[in-house]
Structure 1
C-alpha cells in the first residue's frame, strides 16, 4: 500500500508517518520508484504499536525508540523485551529524601525478598511502590504496610491473568502492545473492579440495606 493508504488504515496523518520514518521508529517503505514506496502489514503493525506506546503508554519518542530496539534484537529474551516496555510506564513523581521514604524502601525490599520475587528493589515498579507507601505514611497511614502481603497475593493473581492474556499473542510486537495496554488500561479496569468490590464488602460489613433492586423496563 502507499503511504496515504497506510494513513487511512491506521488513522495516523501522513506527516506523522514521515516523522516516524525520519526518527527511525518506522522502517522506510520498499522503493518502487525514486519518489514512491510501498508499505506492508509489518509497517501497519509497527505503526499501531508506536501509537499504543505513545497514546496509551504516554512514552516519549526516545523511550519508544528504546523499546523498538529491544523488539528488533533477536538475541533479547522475550521477558526482557516486555520488561523494557513495562519499565517505561512508571510514575514520574519526585522522590523525597526523608524518613518515610527510607522506611518505605526497606519495606519494599523486604517484601521482594520475603515473597521470592525475581526482581530487585531498584526496579522502577519497586520505586513507584516505595513512593506510594511513603506518601501514605506522611498522611498518617503507615499501618497500610500490614496488609501489603494481601495486596501482593492479589497482584500475583492479576499478573498471572495479564501474562495469560499476553501469551495468546503471536508476535513480540503484539505482546509488547498487550503489556502497554494491559498495564495502563488494565489498571483502570482493576481500579473499577476494586471499587465495586469495596461497595459490596462495605455493605456486607456495615450496611443494613439489602442488595439494590434491579430496574425493570
Structure 2
C-alpha cells in the first residue's frame, strides 16, 4: 500500500508517520521509486503498537527501546521481557540500591522470587515506601489479599501469552502491562464504588409498614 493508504488505515497523520520513520521506530517500506515506498500489514501492526505505547505516556526514546527488543529479542526471553518492562513507567530514580528491604520482605512473605536487579522490584520498594510515608503501610493482611489476586491476574496473563515467536511474546508482555494496568486500576475503583453503594443501600433505614 502507498503511504497515503497507510495513513488512512492507521489513523496516524502523515507527519507523524514520517517522524516515526525518521526515529527508526517504524521500519521503512519497500522502495518502489526514488520518492515512493510500499507498506504492508506489518507497518499497520507496528503503528498500532507505537500508538498504544505513546498513549501510555512513553517517550519516543522508550518506544524505540521496546521496538528494538521486539525486532531482536535475543536468546534469553526472560531477560528481554525484563528490559522491555523497564522501559515502561514508573522509572528508576537513578539511585543504585544494593537492597530493597520492603520489597524483599513482601516478596518473601508471598513466596515469590526476589531479584533486586529486576526493575519492578525497585518500583515495588518505592511504592511501599510511599504508602508508609502517608500513614497507610502495607499490612500483612492486605499484602496476602493483594498477592493472591494479583497472582491470579499474572497467571492468566502468562496462560494467554503467544508462543509462536519470541517477538510476539515480548510485544504481548509489554502491551499487556502498558494497556492493561489502567484497566486493572479502573476496575478496582469501580469495585470500590459498587461496594460503597451496596453498603450504603444496606445501611439505609427501611420503610416500616
TM-score norm. by structure 1 comes to 0.75
Provide Cα deviations, 1:1-43, integer angstroms capped at 9, x if missing partner: 0111101110111122122222221221111111211111111
CA contact (8 A) 1:46 1:173 kept: no
| Residue in structure 2 matched with residue 213 of structure 1 by the alignment | none
What SS class does the counterpart of residue 148 from structure 2 fall into? helix
Q: Structure 1 CA distance, aligned partners of 2:204 and 2:190?
A: 16
| Residue in structure 2 matched with residue 89 of structure 1 by the alignment | 88
Q: Structure 2, unaligned stretches of length 5 or more?
A: none
Q: Structure 1 CA distance, aligned partners of 2:94 and 2:61?
A: 23
| Residue in structure 1 matched with residue 4 of structure 2 by the alignment | 4
| Residue in structure 2 matched with residue 155 of structure 1 by the alignment | 150
| Residue in structure 2 matched with residue 35 of structure 1 by the alignment | 35
5 Å-filtered alignment, 1:45-64, equals: 45-56=45-56, 58-64=57-63
Change (3 A) 1:7 1:201: closer
Provide Cα deviations, 1:57-115, integer angstroms capped at 9, x if missing partner: x221122212122112253444444333322223248689xxxx99x931211233444
Q: Structure 2 CA distance, aligned partners of 1:113 and 1:185?
A: 28
Q: Structure 1 CA distance, aligned partners of 2:139 and 2:147?
A: 13
Q: Structure 1, unaligned stretches of length 5 or more?
A: 211-217
What SS class does the counterpart of residue 139 from structure 2 fall into? helix
CA contact (8 A) 1:53 1:177 kept: no
Q: Structure 2 CA distance, aligned partners of 1:174 and 1:87?
A: 18
- Give the number of equivalent residue pairs: 203
Q: Structure 2 CA distance, aligned partners of 1:76 and 1:51?
A: 27
Change (3 A) 1:201 1:11: closer
Is 1:182 matched with 2:181? no
CA contact (8 A) 1:90 1:125 kept: no
What SS class does the counterpart of residue 12 from structure 2 fall into? coil
Q: Structure 2 CA distance, aligned partners of 1:118 and 1:143?
A: 19
Q: Structure 2 CA distance, aligned partners of 1:55 and 1:31?
A: 30
Change (3 A) 1:92 1:5: same
| Residue in structure 1 matched with residue 74 of structure 2 by the alignment | 75
Alpha-carbon shift at residue 183 of structure 1 (Å): 2.4
| Residue in structure 2 matched with residue 19 of structure 1 by the alignment | 19
CA contact (8 A) 1:26 1:43 kept: yes
| Residue in structure 2 matched with residue 215 of structure 1 by the alignment | none
5 Å-filtered alignment, 1:110-189, equals: 110-118=105-113, 120-142=115-137, 144-167=139-162, 175-189=169-183
